[in-house]
Amino acid sequence: MRGATVYYLKILLAICTVHEMAGGLIRNTTDAAYKKYLSLKSLPFEDCASSSSLYRVNYLDIESCSTLPCSMKRNAIIKVTVLFDDNGNGVTFLKHEVRWVFNYIKTQAAISPDPCDGDHDCIMSASDGKTYWANIFVNETLPVMRGSMLWESKDECNQNLICFEVPVLITV
């Protein structure tokens, strides 16, 4: 009887181990599938994180922009929403460095709130990372032409956390 009990306990342990391993595999597969889904729903962008930033952007939404280049009117204030994976590091502060790029000439953009921290309710934890929003002002002195918006966010120590670039078309 004792031998049978040990045998069944070993089988139960093996089943639990396989179940635990499969759970991790399913969870990882689910996370990967969800990130793929987000990337399909996101506005297309160039992620410059691989070369200069710590985290990757999973999703980007620019108010009133569904196709590229994003058409932006002068004197407009446009909300930008970003979802990024902070690898569980608890990011709570983002200092933005956003530039308009026209014919290789970079011009600083006005962002609000900047910095994004706990005082402005602009950065929030999500089940799959962090999400934040900021408003960008499309200055009336920008040229009416195609270019890009280069967006970098840094932490308190000036370390690049995220970076993305989006083609834009400035209009009157």
Chain segment 35-49, per-residue pLDDT in tens = 667 777 889 999 886
Q: How far is the CA of 70 from the CAs of 1, 61, 73, 128, 168, in angstroms?
A: 74, 11, 10, 26, 4
For the chain, the structural domain boundaries read 42-170
* Domain with residues 42-170, CATH architecture: Sandwich (2.60)
Considering only residues 142 and 9, tell me which one the structure prediction assigns the higher pLDDT. Answer: 142
Nearest-CA neighbor of 45 among 71, 70, 79? 70
pLDDT value at residue 171: 96
CA angle 23, 28, 32 (to 5 degrees): 145
Give the whole-number percent of the chain exceeding pLDDT 70.
77
Q: Are 49 and 78 in contact (CB under 8 A)?
A: no
Task: Give 171's strand partners.
Answer: 73
Task: Give 135's strand partners.
Answer: 79, 112
State how beta strands 146-154 and 95-102 pair: antiparallel
Task: Give 153's strand partners.
Answer: 96, 162
Chain segment 10-64, per-residue pLDDT in tens = 454 445 444 444 444 444 556 677 666 777 788 999 988 656 678 989 999 999 8
